[in-house]
Amino acid sequence: MKKQEATVREVALDTLLKIEQQQAYSNLLLNDMIKSSKLAKVDVPLLTEIVYGTIQRQASLDFVLKHFSKKPLDKLQDWVLVLLRLSVYQLLHLDRVPDHAILNEAVTIANKRGHKGISGMVNGILRNVLRQGAPSFDSIKEPIERLAVKGSHPQWFVNRLVDQYGFDEAEKIVFANLEHPVSSIRVNEFKSDKDTIKEMLLEEGVEVEESPFMPHALRVTRGAVQHTDAFKEGYVSIQDEGSMLVALALDPKPGERILDACAAPGGKSMHIAELMQNEGQLISGDIHKHKVELLEAQQKRLGLSIIEGVAQDARKLDEASEPFDRVLVDAPCSGLGVLQRKPDIKWKKKESDISRLQEIQADILDAVWKTLKPGGRLIYSTCTIDKNENDHQITSFLSKHSDASRDTSLTAVLPKAYHSAIGEDGSMVQLLPGQFGTDGFFITSIKKAETIEEVAE
């Protein structure tokens, strides 16, 4: 007898279980599960929605389930809890899926994987959610705790947001993180022009529109770019618009010698090489050798040749025999700015991770500084919004290096649309989720003194 293919919700259940039990990254695992499950193409958007939505809303879903479950949630089997979460997510947040279909399939799965008692419990809880609706979050009296549950973020993270940005801004960030991310692509202007690329994509069934903020970007409104010839032949790259700002902040010129110290997976390196018109030398290093190898494939796809991938630990760099004109440190960070796109990060990271990462970031900055020539510029960027990894990190670095000063030229090199996010002295940008349709990003520019006299000043 032919084995019955798994349904969308069974695949969603298995995917969510693996993410939770194996600490797997949601984006990578979801792609693997789509391939191995042989789901129909038409079912993939629903699978993606259920998986990401359930992870995003996990704390608020558990709040609902605690109200209706007679058993404490930590006493339920893992797969039962995940099945309940994904079913309640659909009941409360998806309009196009009929309630009876959600309930029937949850009960069928519970029967198949458990026994009659479990399916009865699942049936009872879900029917009560349907009849009574979700309980009010107002029953949580403490405001920060209420925000953490309603906005589905870890309490420690919301505490830090409130400390660093104030309650109102923290609330905006939390709810922005629950929105669907904008899907942006960077056009490879070294290879063609934007209008030609737009026509190529349209012929392949991908609809795009101009980004209101970023000149190099298009926003995808329909279709999957990664399956097009335009992507395979290197006319476009998938990249968040906030990430595109990093290469613009570096302002690379053709013929320069540049270091991208923490380069993998390579999106910023490729953008830098495109802006250099493929003229000069770009050393792209990363601590993971297998990731460095991926850079070569990207370079080939985009028709570039000036990038030299190097496996190296950026914390252990010595003074370069030939110093670099510009250096980019896109530092390893907590990733707390990309929760729209990678919601599992917020449940995996711990507050103690931030202190550990701060030490690594500081070591990298100290090491790469030696490789920058006098008068050169260093761009430090992260995809986090935590100030200890950003502003405070740079303030500490500047206090230790008398030949380093804030470079105030970002207003001159970044698109006008982002000028409101640049700090008063022109040396720092903090993008928050929800502001420009980007991830949360931090970028700052530091200049190295050209002469001893300049240091003395």
The model's pLDDT over 198-242, given as tens digits with 9 standing for 90+, comes to: 999 999 999 999 999 999 899 999 998 998 999 999 999 999 999
The CATH code of domain 241-448 reads 3.40.50.150
Does pLDDT of 334 surpass 60? yes
Tell me which residue of 3, 10, 5, 29 sits closest to 343, measured CA to CA.
29
The residues facing 378 across adjacent strands are 327, 446
Rounded Cα distance between 118 and 246, Å, is 51
Domain with CATH 3.40.50.150 in the chain: 241-448
Annotated binding site: 262-268, 286, 313, 330
How high is the mean pLDDT of the chain? 94
Which pLDDT score is estimated for 455?
67
Q: Give pLDDT tens digits for 142-153.
A: 999 999 999 999
Rounded Cα distance between 379 and 262, Å, is 12
- pLDDT band at 298; cut points 50, 70, 90: very high
- In contact, 309 and 296? CB cutoff 8 Å: yes
Tokens 């206090």 belong to residue: 399
Looking at this protein, which amino acid is placed at residue 404?
A
Rounded Cα distance between 358 and 268, Å, is 22
Domain with CATH 1.10.940.10 in the chain: 8-135
Strands 307-311 and 281-286, by their bridges, are parallel
Give SS3 for 302: coil
Does pLDDT of 17 surpass 70? yes
Q: Which tokens belong to 198?
A: 């737009």
Give SS3 for 135: coil
Q: Which tokens belong to 143?
A: 């405001």
- In contact, 360 and 316? CB cutoff 8 Å: no
Q: Exactly one of 383, 394, 410, 428 is catalytic; which is it?
A: 383
For the segment(s) 8-135, the CATH number from 3.40.50.2030, 3.30.2320.80, 1.10.940.10, 1.10.287.130 is 1.10.940.10
Q: Which CATH architecture has domain 184-238?
A: 2-Layer Sandwich (3.30)
Annotated binding site for S-adenosyl-L-methionine: 262-268, 286, 313, 330
Q: How many CB atoms lie within 10 A of CB 441?
A: 28
Following DSSP, what letter does each residue of 39-90 receive, concatenated? Answer: --GGGHHHHHHHHHHHHHTHHHHHHHHHHH-SS-GGGS-HHHHHHHHHHHHH
Give SS3 for 335: coil
- In contact, 236 and 302? CB cutoff 8 Å: no
Tokens 């926003």 belong to residue: 219
Tell me which residue of 181, 246, 186, 237 sits closest to 211, measured CA to CA.
186
Q: Please give the backbone phi and psi of residue 376, each rounded to the nearest 5 degrees, phi first.
A: -80, 170
Q: Give pLDDT tens digits for 24-68.
A: 778 778 888 888 888 888 888 999 999 999 999 999 999 999 999
Domain with CATH 3.30.70.1170 in the chain: 184-238
In this prediction the pTM is 0.93
Cα–Cα–Cα angle for 326, 330, 334, nearest 5°?
Answer: 160
User: What is the dihedral sign for C-alpha 34, 39, 41, 46?
Assistant: negative
Tell me which residue of 82, 84, 61, 59 sits closest to 13, measured CA to CA.
82
For residue 333, indicate whether it is catalytic: no
Tell me which residue of 395, 412, 407, 391 sits closest to 449, measured CA to CA.
407
Mean pLDDT of 417-442: 94
Following DSSP, what letter does each residue of 178-211 receive, concatenated? Answer: TSPPP-EEEE-TTT--HHHHHHHHHHTT-EEEE-
Does pLDDT of 368 surpass 70? yes
Angle between helix axes 241-250 and 267-275 (nearest 10 degrees) is 50
Does pLDDT of 4 surpass 70? no
- In contact, 10 and 108? CB cutoff 8 Å: no
Cα–Cα–Cα angle for 42, 45, 51, nearest 5°?
Answer: 135
